[in-house]
Chain A
Amino acid sequence: MRNGQEVHRRGVFRSLAGGVSAVAMLSLLDSESGVSRGAVRAEDESGRPGGPVHEPSATSVIHLFMNGGPSQMDLLDPKPELVRRHGQEHFDRIAGEVEFPEAAGALLGSPFRFARYGQCGMWVSELLPELSRHVDELSLLRGLYTTNLTHEPALYKYHSGSEFTGRPSLGAWITWGLGSENQNLPGYVVLEDPQGLPVNGVDNWTSGFLPASFQGTRFRATGAPVLNVSPDFVEPASVTAVERQLIRRLDRLHQQNRAGQSRLESRIEAWELAARMQTSATDALDLSQETAATLELYGIGREPTDAYGRRCLIARRLVERGVRFVQLFINSQIWDNHSSIGTALPAACARTDRPIAGLLTDLKQRGLLDQTLLVWGGEMGRLPISQLAADRNPGSSGRDHNKNAMVAWLAGGGVRGGVVHGSTDELGFAAVEGRVGVPDLHATLLHVLGLGADDLYVSRAGLKERLTGVLEPTVIREILVRS
């Protein structure tokens, strides 16, 4: 176990649709012996199962991350009492929970209409007309909360389980622990917004103290799709081929003179993998292979949905190819509606509602939804009181951050549809029933993928480091088909 050399392959499950082998390939991007020496530090004992430990109900995750903190009481958690008490002073009762005390205004009822949808009758705001058609596929979490009301710590928490920098992200843990099912693509792909990085930048998909090859690989919808996957320089393909052949021969000669050095073999393997990745990545990103109807479904080719629609479609193409964890980001915190929530929030919804609904439809049509877990949500929620600009004009009211309540939904592999779990108080300020912390959400994701929170760990600086932290998390069994 020392040196992390031994990789557990207990209970690697075979799954699911069409008898496709779900045997994990740990060796993508990190050959086993590559990991062995110190890639996870030498002192570290590690828990790295190498595949699901119990039967998984999904093999891939698409994480639709909504940077900024979507407003729960304007989208998915209607609060009639808040509307009734609109305009009443409330600040002093929650003063310690407000980021900008000087800008705090009175209670702000949602200006948006809610109605019930689907067989389950789930309440959804008028801002999400497309999603409302899919409520019978969703498990909605209204009792979710986090632990810090500032973006950066809340983002770290949401993505790595800790409020602080330097921990492996969710996707890194999962791909490190489970491996990938595609030998030619990275296991953890990040589809960032070409307009810019989210808050905390590349830290959101860092591998922390896990080997660097498990950090999220950024795929771009335009230009060179993956860092260094195509050459930065121009030369004839035949030249490239000859040079690579030469390197291969030189390395074989080098190896022949050094019998018994397994590291040299690992290096050659890593080299071969890199070569295969070059073609696979380009192919996965080629949307010209899709029909017009599919493009239309995602809102590709028109505004304001084109950019996000493309990322959603690429996400489908990646999970189709066995990529384990796909994460979608949006630039500039479109959900961080400190002001003018009446116009900014509808705009954010307009960019994403159709692409996400399209993704749900498409995955379902292709029979992929059963093995893909979709997770939607942001790093925090918003306050029931208004936030005012310096002129204190209520017309441009927004909402400040709230760590005590936020909303998320899950859909797909192993998750029940049409379920609402948890609730907030009458004003939507804090989760009161079915309270779920971020580590609980993480534990639930791991569970769906066939892992217990304790199956993945690295012993480091004397601590058994787990994604979910020191305290025991609770899997949200209420939303699972097989609890």
Chain B
Amino acid sequence: MWCFFKRFGAVMRLTNALYSVLMWGVSACCGVIAAEPPEFVRDIQPLFQSHCGSCHDGGERSGGLDLGAGLVRGGDSGPVLVPGQPDESLLLQLVTSGAMPPEGEPRLSGEQIDMLRRWIAAGARMPGSQQIPAVNSDRIEALLLLRCAACHGASRQEGGLDVRTRDSLLRGGKSGPAAVPGQPDSSLILQKIAAGEMPPTRRLVEAMIKPITESETQLLRQWIAEGMPQAVVESGKSSELPAGAREFWSFQPPRAADVPEVRATGRVQTAVDAFLLQRLEQAGLTFAAPAEPAVLVRRLYFDLTGLPPTWQQLQRVLQDSRPDRMSRLIDELLESPEYGVRWGQHWLDAAGYADSEGAQNEDRIRADMWRYRDYVIRSFNADKPYDRFLHEQLAGDELADYESAAEVTEELSDNLVATGFLRTAPDRTFANITAFVPDRLEVIADELQILGSTVLGLSINCARCHAHKFDPLSQTDYYRLSAVFKDAWDEHDWLKPLDERLLPYVPTAERVAWEQQKEQLEDQIAKLREQQKAVADAERKELDAAIEKLRQQIPREPKIRALWSRGRPSPTWVLLRGDYLKPGRRVQPGVPEVLEPGGPLLSYEPPWPGAQKTGARLAFARWLTKPDHPLTARVMVNRIWLQHFGRGLVETPANFGVAGARPSHPELLDWLAVQFVRSGWSVKAMHRLLLNSAAWQQSSAVSELSERRDRENQLWSRMPLRRLDAESLRDGLLLVAGALSERRYGPADPVQVRGDGLVTVQPEGEQWRRSVFALHRRTQIPSLLESFDYPQMGPNCVQRGESLAAPQTLQLLNGGFVHDLAVRLARRVVQAVEQSEPLSATGEARELRIVQLYRMALQRDPEVAELRELQSGLDQLVREWQQSAGTGGAAGAGGAGNQSVLLNSAEFEGFCNLCHAVLNSAAFVMVD
């Protein structure tokens, strides 16, 4: 059973590969079809019962297929029979390719297969009312939506015609009914197609459709000829779930075990430690010694704020003698606005944030995307409960009525900004030529993939083309999920990303300010226009220029890049093999069956009376955040763990499925998940639990025992040594050089591209803002960030790389940016020493500067051996500068010319090199 389920996926790929071979083989042997067609009860039914019944009868329905009563309906992958067209019938394809019956089961003989073929070719007739119409309205609706609805559908009804349903075809348009049942030749729609008038060939690109194909026209003709039969309506819910599928660990709701008893009670600072120690002690291990306080403070600052502490901040903690000083620091940093900048970035990675559309050469800027970035940062700072956070991001537009609100509050506006989560995928549909249905489906698929990998921890994207190969996720599950979003993401009723899919509901105050500014400028322009009437030509031109200048000052209308429901979703079909040209069974909005014992279909209603919204997404978001949801809390606590500890409890943060990793500490994961929900989904509560643990606060030193018994650190017998991530490195460099701006939020800082491809962020005056506020244009990622593993958002990133590669070294060593920052750091050091100490001998001054440099850059004093190297290095550097006076350098460029203390420029130049060396050293880039 289970085995079949897995096989089915594998088979689909095989089927594709074999398809052409099959087609060829079939047409070659058509000539030998015997005269008399087989009869269902006599010939076919016994065949099904003997060869297929053990998996596909009323009781067992592998792939959702019941070859008894369900023959007409088909299975998970849609209808299995197409009367008259054996080659189009999935059943025959699978049998012929050898995929079915599965390996080890008795196969059908050549004669039996031939009989099946002939039966289907003759119309797949069955006794009684069971007859399968060759084509029904379901198939035709899908077809007309694809080929005609762009001009005769939801948004436009040219000629008064709407082709979307059987009824609307019968009703017709200005020229009368579009179709007459049983009379294809009198049906206007077929006449227009036959005459080549519809779809109008010269307008195909404008309408973003492709011409109707010959076989599709035939299908339409056949349907009309047969009297336009209605679709077979699905009678009720039928489970497609293999028995036992829900028993897999991650499909069971998390249950909190008791906190275990351990021997090393002294090392238990939070419950986390007990769970970890239990396993460590079993292996004869315990935690490494607690990290040095100074090491811990640096680690903590980077972890929670993405910045190093200043020397003063560090001293303040070290001088605090209270036993809970670390815990107080954790609380303090969680309240710092830098916390949201740092932890917002982790979420932005997972959401696939970018400031451009990508996928097209222009890589068009998403001028309004930053609002979502700000929303995420502010949400983390506010410790917005994760359930609320998800509700807003998945269905903010369905939370409250923004259209008829007298005032758009911050909250109302934020609800819409939050849906930017569903607008991050690369989107090339802003141009007609790349906005055909398959292009649109790709955007939707990317968004579902992001949702799956980030929130659900499931690779649901696999089920787009075939049943998931490992997890009990069917194509029906996938398309039910896409139906949830259809009210907003509708490939047949599309809004273009850059102009149409934006909402004006920014907070009223902001909007009013914009309007006033605009009116003011327009008034001025109007006045100049008046003046123009009365003056001579020359002066008129001058005024033109002034008007143009004013016009350019009119700010852009503030808009929100949102996703919203429109209350008129097209139907959703399972797309066979993911092919938009092969609609299968029609499905309703629902959730993966394996995750919901209560049944997959969602019940939903418009969120407020009169809302032009189905409410399906809101229902989905609430389902996701029900307290006993098997995945939502687990996936999020694992993500938090991953960022703190460098590796998840589940090592595959985006895949909690069968092919993903099993949790290294299942009881701990579940305990945390349950705690998370109990704490009101508070992310900060999770931080406190993890950061206050002895596990997180232990040293990263590798002991011989820990190396031997826990080589890969699977048990967390030490903290991993980590490399700074891209943003922490850049922001840290800026901070220590005194070049970091404190301004947060708002439109992204532009980037510039040098001739050789170097991308840098434009400063604001002498300062730069934190990296999260730089423009993240897909084709112009700042080079420094990129070489330190800032990810390609394709479509998102669930875990950053931590590579160590030569281009990083080159960036740090040779880049002008780092060099300039080193000079600024040198100046800061020199100034600080000058301010705190009276002038002294050169040797003494040098030592003071070196110590100050270490305190500023690395928040510690140099060790004796280091000091020796630094002193002799500085000696040499200064000497070299003296011997090559006049060759470049920072001081020569006016760097520290006004520093009276620097007796000569060689002294300063040498010290700049020293600063540069320290910024390039492992001590700066790595975190113990």
Whether A461 pairs with B655 at a CB distance below 8 angstroms is yes
Interface window among B95-103, B136-144, B300-308, B359-367: B359-367
> How far, in angstroms, from A270 to B804 measured CA to CA in the complex?
7
Q: Which residues of A contact B877 (CB under 8 A)?
A: 239, 242-243, 246
Q: A92-B201, A234-B887, A253-B865 known; A228 and B359 CB under 8 Å?
A: no
Q: Take A101-B202, A462-B659 as given contacts and tell me if A218 and B468 are in contact as well, using a CB distance cutoff of 8 Å.
A: no
Which residues B653-709 have CB closer than 8 A to chain A?
653-655, 657, 659-661, 700-702, 707
Is the Cβ of B359 less than 8 Å from the Cβ of A164? yes
Residue A334 at the chain B interface, CB threshold 8 Å: no
- A453 to chain B minimum Cβ distance, whole angstroms, is 13
Q: How far is the CA of A156 from the CA of B794 in the complex (A)?
A: 13
Q: B869 to A228, Cβ gap below 8 A?
A: no
Tell me if B923 is interfacial: C-beta within 8 Å of chain A: yes
Closest to A249 in B: B869
| Any B CB within 8 A of the CB of A79 | no
For the complex, give the distance between the alpha carbons of A211 and B786 in Å.
10
Chain B stretch 445-502: residues in CB contact (< 8 A) with chain A: 449, 452-453, 459, 461-462, 465, 468, 470
For window 102-147 of chain A, which residues contact chain B by CB distance below 8 Å? 102, 104
Of the stretches B124-132, B812-820, B831-839, the one at the interface is: B812-820
Q: Is B515 an interface residue (CB 8 A)?
A: no
Contacting residues, chain A, for B749 (C-beta < 8 A): none
For A270, what are the chain B residues with a Cβ–Cβ distance below 8 Å?
Answer: 804-806, 808-809
Flag if B800 contacts A238 (CB, 8 Å).
Answer: no
> A8 to nearest B CB, angstroms?
19
Interface check A346, CB cutoff 8 A: no
What separation, in Å, do the CA atoms of A239 and B881 have in the docked complex? 7
Quick check: which of B75-83, B255-263, B265-273, B912-920 contacts chain A, the rest being far away? B912-920
CB within 8 Å of A: which of B146-175? none
Contact B721 A258 (CB under 8 A): yes
Give every chain B residue within 8 A of A251 (Cβ-Cβ): 921-922
Also in contact, A42 and B816, with CB within 8 A (given A101-B204, A208-B792): no
Q: Is the CB of A471 within 8 A of B813?
A: no
Q: Are A102 and B803 interface neighbours, CB within 8 A?
A: no
**Is residue B647 within 8 Å, beta carbon to beta carbon, of the partner chain?**
yes
CA distance in complex: A259, B288 (Å): 14
Please state if A212 and B654 are interface contacts (CB–CB under 8 Å). no
Is the pair A29, B807 in contact by a Cβ cutoff of 8 Å?
yes
Q: Are A212 and B789 in contact (CB under 8 A)?
A: yes
Known: A212-B787, A218-B756, A267-B922. A235 touches B888 (CB 8 A): yes
Chain A 78-111, CB-CB to B under 8 Å as 1, else 0, gives 0000000000000110011011111010000000
Given the known interface contacts A228-B758, A236-B880, the answer about A38 and B802 at a Cβ–Cβ threshold of 8 Å is yes
Nearest CB in chain B: distance from A214 CB, A: 9
User: Looking at the complex, which one of A165, A218, A267 makes contact with B794 (CB distance below 8 Å)?
Assistant: A165
Q: How many angstroms from the CA of A201 to the CA of B792 in the assembled complex? A: 14
Of A48-56, A219-227, A284-292, A355-363, the one touching chain B: A219-227
Contacts A151-B361, A165-B359, A166-B793 given: A34-B803 contact, CB under 8 Å? yes
Q: B803 and A30: CB pair below 8 A?
A: yes
Q: How far is the CB of B208 from chain A (nearest CB, A)?
A: 12
Kindly provide the distance from the CB of B74 to the nearest chain A CB, expressed in whole angstroms.
24
- Is A396's CB within 8 Å of the partner chain B? no
Given contacts A166-B426, A223-B755, A250-B922, 10 further A-B contacts (CB under 8 A): A28-B806, A29-B806, A39-B802, A100-B205, A202-B757, A234-B887, A254-B926, A270-B806, A278-B810, A462-B459
Name the contact of B800 in the complex, choosing from A38, A165, A202, A213 (C-beta under 8 A). A38
Within the assembled complex, what's the spacing in Å between the Cα atoms of A235 and B700? 38
A249 cross-chain contacts in B, Cβ below 8 A: 869, 873
Q: Name the one of B655, B802, B884, B923 contacting A236, with C-beta atoms under 8 angstroms.
A: B884
A106 to chain B, nearest CB (A): 15
A16 at the interface (CB under 8 A from B): no
- The 8 A CB mask of A433-447 against B (1 = contact, 0 = none) is 000000000000000
Q: Give the docked Cα–Cα distance between A77 and B462 (Å).
A: 40
| Distance between Cα atoms of A207 and B792 in the complex (Å) | 8
| B 429-458 to A, binary, CB cutoff 8 A, 1 in contact else 0 | 000011000000010000001001100000
Q: Is the CB of A166 within 8 A of B792?
A: yes
List chain B residues, Cβ under 8 A from A28.
806
Contact B434 A463 (CB under 8 A): no
B783 at the interface (CB under 8 A from A): yes
Q: Does A303 contact B (CB under 8 A)?
A: no
CB of A13 within 8 Å of the partner chain? no
CB pair A229 B810 closer than 8 Å: yes
A40 CB-CB contact with B under 8 Å = yes
Chain B residues with CB under 8 A of A41: 798-799, 801
A152 touching B359, Cβ below 8 Å: yes
A104–B794 Cα distance when bound, in Å, is 36
Cα–Cα distance between A153 and B655 once the two chains are bound (Å)? 29
B806 touches A213 (CB 8 A): yes
Total count of chain B residues near the partner, CB < 8 A: 111
**Closest CB in chain A relative to B299 CB, distance in Å:** 14
A244 vs B755: C-alpha distance in the bound complex, in angstroms? 27
Is A365 in the interface zone, CB < 8 Å from B? no
Taking a contact as CB atoms under 8 Å apart, the answer to whether B795 and A232 are in contact is no
Contacts of A38 in B (CB 8 A): 799-802
Q: Are A96 and B801 in contact (CB under 8 A)?
A: no
Residue of A nearest to B912 (CB): A235
Q: Please tell me if the beta carbons of A254 and B816 are within 8 angstroms of each other in the complex.
A: no
Known contacts being A151-B361, A164-B426, A254-B922, is A243 close to B917, with CB within 8 Å? yes
Q: Is the CB of A213 within 8 A of B428?
A: no
Contact, CB under 8 Å: B814 / A232: yes
The CA-CA distance from A123 to B258 in the complex, in Å, is 80
Q: How far is the CA of A226 from the CA of B815 in the complex (A)?
A: 12
8 contacts between A and B (CB under 8 A): A99-B433, A165-B778, A208-B794, A212-B787, A232-B814, A236-B881, A250-B923, A471-B16
Contacts of B763 in A (CB 8 A): none
A250 proximity list for chain B (CB < 8 A): 866, 869-870, 917-918, 921-923
A274 touching B917 in the complex, CB below 8 Å, given contacts A164-B359, A164-B442, A233-B888: no
Q: Hey, which chain B residues are within 8 Å of A96, CB to CB?
A: 204, 210-211
User: What residues on A are CB-neighbors of B655 within 8 Å?
Assistant: 43, 461-462
| Among candidates B210, B700, B880, B922, residue contacting A239 with C-beta atoms closer than 8 Å | B880
| CB atoms of A239 and B806 under 8 A apart | no
**Inter-chain contact B653/A43, CB cutoff 8 Å:** yes
Cα(A277)–Cα(B802), bound, Å: 22
* Cα(A98)–Cα(B866), bound, Å: 69
B876 (CB) vs chain A CBs: closest residue: A242
Compute how far the CA of A35 lies from the CA of B433 in the bound complex, rounded to whole angstroms: 39
Q: How far is the CA of A266 from the CA of B806 in the complex (A)?
A: 10
Task: Give the complex CA separation of A179 and B204 in angstroms.
Answer: 47
Q: How many angstroms from the CA of A92 to the CA of B211 in the assembled complex?
A: 10
Give the one of A200, A202, A227 with max B CB within 10 A.
A227
What 0/1 readout, one digit per residue, does chain B (395-429) give for beta carbons within 8 Å of chain A?
00000000000000000000000000000001010
